[in-house]
Each structure stands twice: as structure tokens, then as C-alpha cells.
């Protein structure tokens, strides 16, 4: 009898070779051990691609003979997603030429296909809209995503159509305007009002210790800590009080770095999470109960984080012209803003 199989880590399986398996072909034995999840052809492909080891050494030959007492490990690479398909999805286009396209992304539209969102994304829409004008990114006819907005964040976003534009825009966004002409401004409606009219939030971000899909402010020395800096300014206060506080406020945020969920995490970190943010501001949702009845449901049930990419400026990678785009507030953001403006001041 062979020794029991062991599983080392996620995506990596280990199998002990017993006396009864000595002399058997590696592919035949491993296919039997992994059936019905893997076919013999699939096992052979994994062996040839270097994903199978015997006692830690890569074995690239499916016909290799097994030796009793050895340990066979099989690494299961992440499955590659299918190529995105073209889909006829309406887009609000602010600018387009042979090199790039600038859109006003609506809230609810995912930028790139991924787990749970393989269709209905901006990439699917762009493949349909741009068609043959996509000369390819990395040899593949697809749009070049150089920056992203969260699914429920609205506003200005630029996408490259070819390698030249993709490289130039990627470099500009990596620099975050520190030496170039890139300028980005986001508007957010947050609970309360920061104590100073303008400030800088300098706090490294990493994965949350309780939920790997979330980000959190972490110690700078932690292995996954990433430098993150947000500049903010208060644009408007709502329900201002005599003690200089307010029920809520409209703030403008400009990024010195571009980390995942950066504005949302940083504003929550300083005690002013975004209205509607169920990930980082859930604890503040009950504040809406203090509002007049005609506003309570609108504010308390706002279905997304109140964040809008208001402004984007960059230098065109081919013409060298400075392009500047501003996206008006979408209807839901404007309705929330107008409701906040009806709050009386003390």
C-alpha cells in the first residue's frame, strides 16, 4: 500500500510513491491520483511545463519511471481567463483618436474582466467600440488599461489603444505628476469634516488582516506595506455647526501615489469615511438616522461610495499636447450633494 497523499499549500499537491507504484510511468500514475479533476493529457502538459517535481527536482518527461519512497509534487497554476469578448455596451466618450480614448465611466461598470466579472466590463465594451483601431498591447488586440477606477467609482478614465501610448501613459501614471503634467482630482462626500481645510494623509497601506479583499493602514515596516499619500482639501461643508464641525462635507482628493482603495481607506483612517462606503464606512451608516425623514433614506441607502473622478489632465503621448478633461457629477452623486446642501447650519 502506498503512503497517504498529503497536501502542502493551496495550489500545490504532494503524493508519496509507495512500493506498489515503483516502475510506473509518472503521467499514468499521477493521472490516476488526480482523476477526475485532471485528464492524462492535462497531467502530461503540466509535467512538460515544469509544474511537476520529484523530491524537489523538476521532471519534464511524462514517461519518467517512479521510484518508491520519493515524493511527487504537482503545482496547479491559476487558470488563465478566457480572452475578453466584444460587447455592445454604451460608453460616454469624452475624447478619442488613434492612440487613446477618454471616457466618463459610470458607477457600476467594472474596468477589467476578473473573478465574478468576466463579461459586461469596460474592456469588453472597448473591444467592441474600438475594433480595428486597437493595434495591440503586448501583441494582443486589446485596450491598454493604465489606471483603474473601482467598480462603484464614477468619472474620467483614459485607456491606450497601442503599445506606444500604453508605455507613455503608464510611465506618467507611475510618476503621479511629480515630474510631469499628470493631474488627477477626485471629489468625495464624506461623513463629518476634517479639522483643517487642507491636509496630507501619509499612511502606508497593505492587506487587511481580517479580509484579504480589503486594504488597511499598516505599519511601515510590514512586508506588504506600500507608501501611500493623499492630499485633500475641503470644498464645501454640510450642516455646519458652531464648533467648526459639520454633518458631512465635500472634499477634493489628489493622489501622490495610486494604491488600491487609497482615498477610501485614507479618509476612513482619519475618521471621515465616504458616504455609502459599505466596506470602509459601514459603522457611520446610522448617522443618516439623524436626518429629516425626506433625506434619511436617500443618504442612508446611497448604493455606492460617493466618489467621483472629477478631473484628469495628461500630456498626449504622440502630439505632446496637454489634454484636460472634467466629468460632471453623475445624477446620483448630484442628488446626494443637493440633499446635503439642504441641511441647515447651526
Q: What is the pLDDT of residue 137?
A: 66
To the query of whether residue 163 is one of the catalytic residues in this protein, the response is no
Catalytic residue among 27, 99, 104, 150: 150
Contacts 24+ apart (CB under 8 A), 178-184: 178/256, 180/315, 181/313, 181/314, 181/315, 181/322, 182/313, 182/314, 182/315, 183/254, 183/311, 183/312, 183/313, 183/314, 183/324, 184/254, 184/255, 184/309, 184/311, 184/312, 184/313
Q: What is the pLDDT of residue 2?
A: 39
Angle at 282 between CA 120 and CA 199, to 5 degrees: 95
Angle at 305 between CA 302 and CA 311, to 5 degrees: 120
Most confident of 45-54, 72-81, 136-145, 243-252: 243-252
Span 201-257, pLDDT tens digits: 999 999 998 887 899 999 999 999 999 999 999 999 999 998 889 999 999 999 999
CA distance linking residue 251 with residue 197, whole number of Å = 9
Span 242-295, pLDDT tens digits: 888 999 999 999 999 989 999 999 999 999 999 999 999 988 888 888 888 888
Share of the chain above pLDDT 70, in %: 93
Rounded mean pLDDT, 170-197: 90
Q: What is the pLDDT of residue 244?
A: 87
Residue 295: closest CA among 265, 340, 333, 254? 340
Span 148-168, pLDDT tens digits: 999 999 999 999 998 889 889
What domains are there in the chain, each with its CATH number? 6-75 (3.10.290.10), 81-175 (3.30.2350.10), 182-346 (3.30.2350.10)
- Within its chain, how far is the Cα of 242 from the centroid? 40
Residue 231: closest CA among 270, 260, 179? 270
Q: What is the pLDDT of residue 4?
A: 40
CA distance linking residue 86 with residue 96, whole number of Å = 18
Q: What is the pLDDT of residue 11?
A: 66
Amino acid at each position: 500500500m502506498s503512503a497517504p497523499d498529503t497536501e502542502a499549500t493551496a495550489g500545490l499537491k504532494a503524493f508519496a510513491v509507495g512500493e506498489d507504484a515503483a516502475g510506473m510511468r509518472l503521467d499514468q500514475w499521477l493521472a490516476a491520483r488526480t482523476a477526475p479533476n485532471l485528464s492524462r493529457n492535462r497531467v502530461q502538459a503540466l509535467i512538460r511545463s515544469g509544474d511537476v517535481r520529484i523530491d524537489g527536482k523538476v521532471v519534464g518527461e511524462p514517461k519518467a519511471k517512479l521510484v518508491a519512497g520519493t515524493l511527487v509534487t504537482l503545482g496547479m497554476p491559476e487558470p488563465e481567463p478566457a480572452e475578453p469578448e466584444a460587447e455592445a455596451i454604451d460608453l460616454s466618450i469624452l475624447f478619442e483618436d488613434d492612440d487613446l480614448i477618454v471616457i466618463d465611466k459610470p458607477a457600476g461598470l467594472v474596468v477589467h474582466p476578473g473573478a465574478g466579472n468576466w463579461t459586461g466590463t469596460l474592456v469588453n465594451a472597448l473591444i467592441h467600440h474600438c475594433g480595428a483601431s486597437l493595434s495591440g498591447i503586448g501583441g494582443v488586440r486589446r485596450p491598454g488599461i493604465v489606471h483603474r477606477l473601482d467598480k462603484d467609482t464614477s468619472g474620467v478614465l483614459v485607456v491606450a489603444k497601442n503599445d506606444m501610448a500604453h508605455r507613455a501613459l503608464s510611465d506618467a501614471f507611475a510618476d503621479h505628476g511629480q515630474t510631469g503634467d499628470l493631474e488627477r482630482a477626485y471629489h468625495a462626500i464624506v461623513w463629518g469634516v476634517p479639522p483643517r481645510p487642507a491636509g496630507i494623509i501619509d499612511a502606508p497601506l497593505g492587506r487587511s488582516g481580517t479580509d484579504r479583499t480589503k486594504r488597511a493602514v499598516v505599519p511601515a515596516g510590514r512586508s506588504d506595506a506600500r507608501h501611500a499619500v493623499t492630499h485633500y482639501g475641503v470644498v464645501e461643508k454640510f450642516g455646519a455647526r458652531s464648533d467648526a464641525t459639520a454633518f458631512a462635507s465635500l472634499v477634493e482628493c489628489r493622489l501622490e501615489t495610486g494604491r488600491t482603495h487609497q482615498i477610501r481607506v485614507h479618509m476612513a483612517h482619519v475618521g471621515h469615511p465616504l458616504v455609502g462606503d459599505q466596506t470602509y464606512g459601514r459603522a457611520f451608516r446610522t448617522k443618516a438616522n439623524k436626518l429629516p425623514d425626506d433625506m434619511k433614506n436617500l443618504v442612508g441607502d446611497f448604493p455606492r461610495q460617493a466618489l467621483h473622478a472629477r478631473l484628469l489632465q495628461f500630456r498626449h503621448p504622440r502630439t505632446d499636447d496637454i489634454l484636460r478633461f472634467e466629468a460632471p457629477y453623475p445624477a446620483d452623486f448630484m442628488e446626494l450633494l443637493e440633499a446635503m446642501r439642504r441641511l441647515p447650519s447651526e
